[in-house]
Amino acid sequence: MADYLPHTDEEVHDMLDFLGLDSLEHLFAHIPAAVRLSGGLDIEPGLSEPDVAAIFAGYGEANAARANAMTCFAGAGAYDHEVPAVVKALGSRSEFVTAYTPYQPEVAQGVLQAIFEYQTLISRLAGLPIANASLYDGATALVEALNMAGGATKRSRMYVSAGVHPHWRAVARTFAAGTGHEIVEVPLVDGLTQWGSVDTSDAAAIVAAYPNYLGVVEDLSDARALASAAGGLFIVAGDPVAAGVLKSAGDWGADVFLGEGQPFGTPLAFGGPYLGLFACTMDQVRRLPGRIVGETLDSNGRRSFVTTLRAREQDIRREKATSNVCTNQTLMAVTAAIQLGWLGTSGLRDVATRCAEGAHYLFDAVTAIEGVEAVSSQAFLREFALRLPRRASDVIADMAASGVLAGVAASTLAPAGDPSLEGIENVLLVAVTEKRTRVELDAYADLLRKAVA
Amino acid sequence: MAITGLPGGRAASVPLMGHETEPTMFELSVAGRSAAQLRTTGVPTRSLVDMVGAAHVKDEPVALSDLSERDLVGHFTRLSHRQFSVDLGAYPLGSCTMKYNPKFCDAVAADPALNGVHPGAPATLTQGWLELLVDLEEKLCAITGMAAATLQPAAGAAGELTGLLLMRAYHASRGEDRRRVIIPDSAHGTNPASVTLGGYEVTTVPSNERGLVDLEALRGALGPDVAGIMLTNPNTVGLFEEEITEIATAVHDAGGLLYYDGANLNAIVGVVRPGDMGFDIVHMNLHKTFATPHGGGGPGAGPVAVSARLADFLPGPKATRVADGTFDWVAPAQSIGRVHGWHGNAMVLARALAYIDVHGGDGLTRVAQHAVLNANWLRRRLADTLPAAYDRPCMHEAVLSATALKAATGVRGLDVAKALLDEGFHSPTVYFPLIVDEALMFEPTETESPQTLEALAQAVERIVARADTEADELHHSPHHTPVSRVDEARAARHLIATEDAAAR
């Protein structure tokens, strides 16, 4: 028996006495007996913290792919970046961790200002004038962007490049069942979206990925032109680290930028909690989903921050709200602001550049291996797709035995039959971060050579 | 009684919270400074233009904030001193269940054997995580009385929308096209917003004079085009829907499903199970009931549990125990698809499982008992100061009303809430639920001591006592917080959402 309740037995007795009750059970006397649980929950009795820690150590040991046990070359939207001690220390301050949504701005200036700084950073990386306070993850940010496009155009057809992460497209399809949106996937050939293969004149949205999930850096001019011709929104799903060196979504003329913010200070964490990034033009600000922090003054004329444009939100607007989002990912947004503060202008550029240098070094080494080919001949930044002479999952298993997580098997992301990838069972997605050394890259190439021999 | 409001129950350090306006990180920035230190890799350098082509490379890097590590630490530490939190003091914010977040659960989640695992690694290399997820699903099903659950939804509202899509898939599988979802007028705002996104129309049913669903009105609203009803029980007024069995029968007889909004599960965990009340779909807010930290507004987690007839529609793939005793990802037969980019907010899920394991079935029941005890004690203790909106036993929340105070003195519920900040307590939720005039919704949670509750009650008494003579001062409270009341209208009128918009 263990818990965190402060009451002594005597105090419980006194409090019940004050209420004129004999027992704790009497607090629930007004609940019909027919629905009350008799005999308690079918869950074992409580354990002490050290006992539970032992159980959790067992879970950890059963993860062969745990950090420190395996060198990570997996990416596909989740990246093994450096998170320094200072970011962990600041991001785990209990004032940020144990607060809630800043409903009382007088005692929430810490979180509010940190979000304001986060919004500024994301707006600059997106090249767009406004960003929200965060969404759940990249996939749900895509859904919100499609909903924004539906609202802005009163149309329902969404043309989404097959270069957008397969899971994100899957999430978009799931939620389209409720909104009635039609998701039209535009296929890739040689890693490039075939925008000319479809009639997009009725588009609510044109969605491109930059870089796409195969790593390819596509020219977005055609996609932008199609969105303009159709009168739909141009939505760019971008890698925020790439945004440190590549043209911004705004540079390409995007109406909306969205992305996965995990690379900014959030650990791999088995996929969550991550951070949905969202920025847009001022034209769409009234349709912006989620919370927005704005600057204002307090009654003494001091600069203050407060959540604003609240009339868009579910607790005010109810069934007419732009989104149902309430709790979002504030702690990850605050952490991203801290991580970007640590990196600074040159640091983010260095991280993006080093990722690219490592990826290109490794690409050259592995594509020299007999039987290993690049899936695309196009330019890439920090990850690439290989076609192997064996099933990618078998190669991952072989290399894992030597302590290397070789990448992500494309077939585990996109179900078989994705028209954009022939022979998907043999396709391996490989990502390189600034943490990977030349020694590790050389070792990877050696292991892959053996695995495909 | 012996309980006194000892010091320490309140956030005694509030007067020390940072009062100086903190410059933004951009104002502190000095071009050329940097804190970053990256690994020495030995990888040859190459030009970006060579690698990706000139058409893609930005001319100038994006300007961020250039700080020394010392300045970075100073800035965010000073910001943290301008922030109230559960660790600092009592946070009786109704509807949010701001209970103490055990440090142990954070430590569990910090283990690199869990948080250093890539989500795209194959199941064979992540067996520990899959087993953890299966164990959590089983325990959440035991708590809710349901058959199966998805752990993917990232927060309560995401769980709601997932539940509505499950409702839609279920009816569609039976060839039925149902268009409306019923919601009581006391519901959280996320409910109607989710209904719209789920492709349904909202039908609102009124509450009766006891603060409960009006059963006759509900029966009148039901029909063959009703997909289901979304209910919070106990409801947002803090009261248990005593006619829940009759409600369930009526909805089921009309072919509809019952959705349980788990926002208030803390009141009944281990006491009543939604499944036993007749609910078909249940979402849980793990950041409420299971004490995962709220993070200043997330991350949360909103798993959805369902009865057997809906299990085949759950999002997938799901971590599943397979025949040989190992674990794999398996998609339910008629799955609605993914609702999250990966597997859900995994580190939140791990914290919640650790919390459940420490408490066990017996401890979780005590959680509900003590949460309800604290709320009822506070309601009774303040009965002569701020009466409850409904004069009867409440569950884990006490919804009080400042209507009489306002009529007598002009001091509103909002003024009381703001003045409490000066007293070292976080405000209760104000003006929600919408059906209660001048609502002040206190949710003390089970982790606050009787001494803290007494100190809170005394603080409310002091404020109300000042209303006759110091109404104007109360209208302008708080006075001792980092900033005073902020001009929300100005923020909306002159939108400045970034440093660049501020154009200093």
Q: What is the CATH number of the domain that holds A161?
A: 3.40.640.10
CA dihedral A316, A317, A318, A324 (to 10 degrees): -90
> Are A48 and A118 contained in the same domain?
no
> Are B149 and B165 contained in the same domain?
yes
> Are A178 and A147 contained in the same domain?
yes
Asked whether the bond before A415 is cis by omega within 30 degrees of 0, the reply is no
Please classify residue B504 by burial: count the beta carbons closer than 10 Å to its beta carbon, then call 0-12 exposed, 13-18 middle and 19+ buried.
exposed
Distance of CA A165 to the CA centre of its chain: 11
Tokens describing residue A284? 């769409």
Q: For residue A66, is it within any domain?
A: no
CB contact under 8 A, B98 and A292: no
- In this structure, the number of other CB atoms found within 10 A of the CB of residue B6 comes to 13
What ipTM was reported for this prediction?
A: 0.97
pLDDT digits (tens, 9 = 90+) for B129-140: 999 999 999 999
Question: Mean pLDDT across chain A, nearest whole number?
Answer: 96
Q: For residue B46, is it within any domain?
A: no
> Are B86 and B133 contained in the same domain?
no
Q: What is the pLDDT along chain B (504 residues), one digit of tens a residue?
A: 566 766 556 665 555 677 889 999 999 999 999 999 999 999 999 999 999 999 999 999 899 999 999 999 999 999 999 999 999 999 999 999 999 999 999 999 999 999 999 999 999 999 999 999 999 999 999 999 999 999 999 999 999 999 999 999 999 999 999 999 999 998 888 999 999 999 999 999 999 998 899 999 999 999 999 999 999 999 988 899 999 999 999 999 999 999 999 999 999 999 999 999 999 999 999 999 999 999 999 999 999 999 999 999 999 999 999 999 999 999 999 999 999 999 999 999 999 999 999 999 999 999 999 999 999 999 999 999 999 999 899 999 999 999 999 999 999 999 999 999 999 999 999 988 888 999 999 999 999 999 999 999 999 999 999 999 999 999 999 999 999 999 999 999 999 999 999 865
Nearest-by-CA chain A residue for B153: A136
When pLDDT is averaged across residues A117-130 and rounded to a whole number, the result is: 98
Which of A337, A353, A372 is at the close of a domain? A337
Alpha helices in A68-220 (DSSP H): 85-91, 94-97, 109-126, 138-153, 166-179
Q: For residue A4, is it within any domain?
A: no
> Are B317 and B403 contained in the same domain?
no
> Are A124 and A231 contained in the same domain?
yes
Residue B411 is part of a domain; what is its CATH number? 3.90.1150.10
pLDDT digits (tens, 9 = 90+) for A212-267: 999 999 999 999 999 999 999 999 999 999 999 999 999 999 999 999 999 999 99
- Binning pLDDT at 50, 70 and 90, where does residue A322 land? confident
Residue A428's domain comprises 71-84+343-452
Q: For residue B84, is it within any domain?
A: yes
Chains A, B: CB pairs < 8 Å = 755
CB contact under 8 A, B482 and A251: no
> Are B489 and B345 contained in the same domain?
no
pLDDT digits (tens, 9 = 90+) for A80-121: 999 999 999 999 999 999 999 999 999 999 999 999 999 999
DSSP string of B92-161?
A: -BTTS------HHHHHHHT-HHHHT--TTS-GGG-HHHHHHHHHHHHHHHHHHT-SEEE---SSHHHHHH
Nearest-by-CA chain A residue for B233: A31
DSSP string of B459-471?
A: HHHHHHHHTTT-H
CB contact under 8 A, B118 and A270: yes
Q: Which of B82, B122, B337 faces A396 most closely, judged by CB atoms? A: B122
> Are B419 and B325 contained in the same domain?
no
Distance CA B109, CA B350 (A): 6
**pTM exceeds 0.90, yes or no:** yes
Q: For residue A141, is it within any domain?
A: yes
Which of A317, A337, A357 is at the close of a domain? A337
Q: For residue A1, is it within any domain?
A: no
Residue A409 is part of a domain; what is its CATH number? 3.90.1150.10
> Are A143 and A18 contained in the same domain?
no
Beta-strand runs (E) in A137-249: 157-161, 182-186, 188-189, 192-193, 203-210, 233-238
Tell me which chain A residues have a C-beta less than 8 angstroms from the C-beta of B136. none
Q: For residue A106, is it within any domain?
A: yes
> Are A155 and A256 contained in the same domain?
yes
User: Are A113 and B82 within 8 A, CB to CB?
Assistant: yes
Q: For residue B243, is it within any domain?
A: yes
DSSP string of B323-342?
A: TTS-EEEE--TT----SSSS
> Are B458 and B310 contained in the same domain?
no
> Are B199 and B258 contained in the same domain?
yes
> Which H/E stretch holds residue A443?
helix A438-452
CB contact under 8 A, B298 and A134: yes
B325 vs A: CB within 8 A: no
Q: For residue B6, is it within any domain?
A: yes
Q: B84: closest CA among B497, B480, B353?
A: B480
Tell whether the model's pLDDT for residue A418 goes beyond 70: no
* A148 contact partners, CB below 8 Å, separation of at least 6: A233, A256, A280, A284, A287, A288, A289, A322
> Are A221 and A247 contained in the same domain?
yes
B371 vs A: CB within 8 A: no
Which of A274, A304, A337 is at the close of a domain? A337
* A-contacting residues in B 13-72 (Cβ below 8 Å): 14, 17-18, 21-22, 24-26, 31, 33-46, 48, 51-53, 55-58, 61-67, 69, 72
Q: For residue A56, is it within any domain?
A: yes
CB contact under 8 A, A327 and B347: no
> Are B253 and B276 contained in the same domain?
yes
> Are A266 and A398 contained in the same domain?
no
- Binning pLDDT at 50, 70 and 90, where does residue A326 land? confident
Tell whether the model's pLDDT for residue A2 goes beyond 70: no
> Are A333 and A347 contained in the same domain?
no
| Beta-bridge mates of residue B165 | none
> Are A214 and A272 contained in the same domain?
yes
Residue B203's domain comprises 107-358
Distance CA B152, CA B343 (A): 5
> Are B209 and B291 contained in the same domain?
yes
The domain total for chain A is: 3
Residue B199 is part of a domain; what is its CATH number? 3.40.640.10
> Are B141 and B83 contained in the same domain?
no
Q: For residue B149, is it within any domain?
A: yes
> What is the model's pLDDT at position B490?
96
The domain total for chain B is: 2
> What is the model's pLDDT at position B380?
97
When pLDDT is averaged across residues A149-154 and rounded to a whole number, the result is: 97
Helix, strand and coil in chain B, % to nearest 5: 40, 10, 50
> Are A333 and A366 contained in the same domain?
no
Q: Which of A32, A59, A308 faces B131 most closely, judged by CB atoms? A: A59
Best B16, B43, B171 member to test A by mutation, with max A CBs in 10 Å, is B43
> Which H/E stretch holds residue A349?
helix A330-366
